């Protein structure tokens, strides 16, 4: 995302090392998915420069701006970037200006903090439909072919989603790729980290309880209730709920928990 490219130290460090002997990679192609928002932060509060790609100017890297709603312009920029990198062994930046239609996760409703922006986004056709309309207008495909492609891909996603529900990963500790590695003697046992079920339910009730003096948004209320029910029914516990339960159990046992992450990500959860 744009704010990450402009704000994260690793990007500046990579540019600083890009021309150093022993660190040069022969040029890096930096691709920015510029969705014009940093979780809930508007660009004017996220950086001091007009574009997130301006950081590339410190090494005189060419910067190519393209419209995410125009896939052909994105491909064109990608080809130029590859040719430049291969010929000059220098960094090049692609700034793909687009937008994020939905939130970062199931608990994020972007219209809470950017209502005007997301009003426009809801009224704007998707990239798929914009490009599909162009292909139909140029008589490359007809509407029936386009609709069939969309339906076939949607069906594929539905099938894979159903399959994912029943998927059980095989946990390999010292198998497969790791078979030639052996655990150190006496240290091959994992510590007990389980928590009593009644304690888990009690923690869940506390973290998902809404104080009566707070007039909470109905969407957030639904999310909290869904989390509470997932613990009671012992089914469908998502990642953020599991993390909150783990943190709560640590706090109950007297262990302090320090939370940190990009753009206050954790603060949104807890």
Domain boundary among 66, 95, 124: 124
- Same domain? For 7 and 118 the reply is yes
Asked if residue 19 is part of any domain, the answer here is yes
What does pTM read for this prediction? 0.72
Asked if residue 207 is part of any domain, the answer here is yes
Read off the pLDDT of residues 185-241 as tens digits, 9 standing for 90 and up. Answer: 766 566 677 888 999 999 999 999 888 899 988 888 888 899 999 999 988 888 889
Question: Residue 147: which pLDDT band, with cuts at 50, 70 and 90?
Answer: very high
Asked if residue 79 is part of any domain, the answer here is yes
Domain limits at 242?
197-269
Domain boundary among 93, 124, 155: 124
Asked if residue 227 is part of any domain, the answer here is yes
Domain boundary among 94, 124, 154: 124
Read off the pLDDT of residues 166-194 as tens digits, 9 standing for 90 and up. Answer: 888 776 666 777 777 776 776 656 667 78
- Same domain? For 8 and 107 the reply is yes
DSSP states of 206-259: HHTPPPTT----HHHHHHHHHHHHHHHHT----HHHHHHHHHHHHHHTT-----
Asked if residue 206 is part of any domain, the answer here is yes
């Amino acid at each position: 995302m744009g704010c990450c490219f402009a704000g994260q130290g690793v990007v500046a460090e990579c540019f600083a090392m890009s021309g150093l002997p022993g660190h040069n990679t022969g040029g890096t192609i930096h691709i920015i998915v510029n969705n014009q928002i940093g979780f809930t932060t508007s660009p004017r509060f996220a950086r001091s420069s007009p574009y997130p790609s301006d950081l590339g100017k410190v090494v005189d890297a060419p910067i190519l701006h393209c419209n995410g709603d125009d896939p052909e312009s994105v491909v064109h920029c990608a080809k130029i970037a590859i040719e430049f990198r291969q010929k000059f062994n220098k960094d090049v930046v692609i700034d793909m200006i687009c937008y994020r239609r939905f939130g970062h996760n199931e608990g994020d409703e972007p219209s809470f903090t950017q209502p005007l922006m997301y009003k426009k986004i809801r009224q704007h056709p998707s990239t798929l439909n914009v490009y599909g309309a162009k292909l139909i207008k140029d008589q490359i495909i007809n509407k029936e072919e386009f609709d069939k492609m969309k339906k076939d891909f949607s069906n594929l996603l539905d099938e894979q989603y159903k399959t994912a529900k029943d998927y059980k990963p095989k946990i390999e500790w010292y198998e497969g790729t790791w078979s030639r590695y052996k655990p150190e003697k006496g240290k091959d046992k994992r510590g007990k980290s389980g928590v009593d079920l009644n304690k888990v339910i009690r923690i869940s009730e506390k973290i998902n309880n809404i104080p009566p003096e707070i007039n909470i948004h109905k969407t957030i209320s639904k999310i909290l209730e869904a989390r509470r029910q997932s613990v009671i029914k012992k089914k469908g516990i998502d990642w953020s709920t599991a993390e909150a339960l783990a943190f709560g159990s640590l706090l109950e046992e007297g262990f302090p928990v320090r939370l940190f992450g990009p753009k206050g990500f954790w603060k949104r959860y807890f």
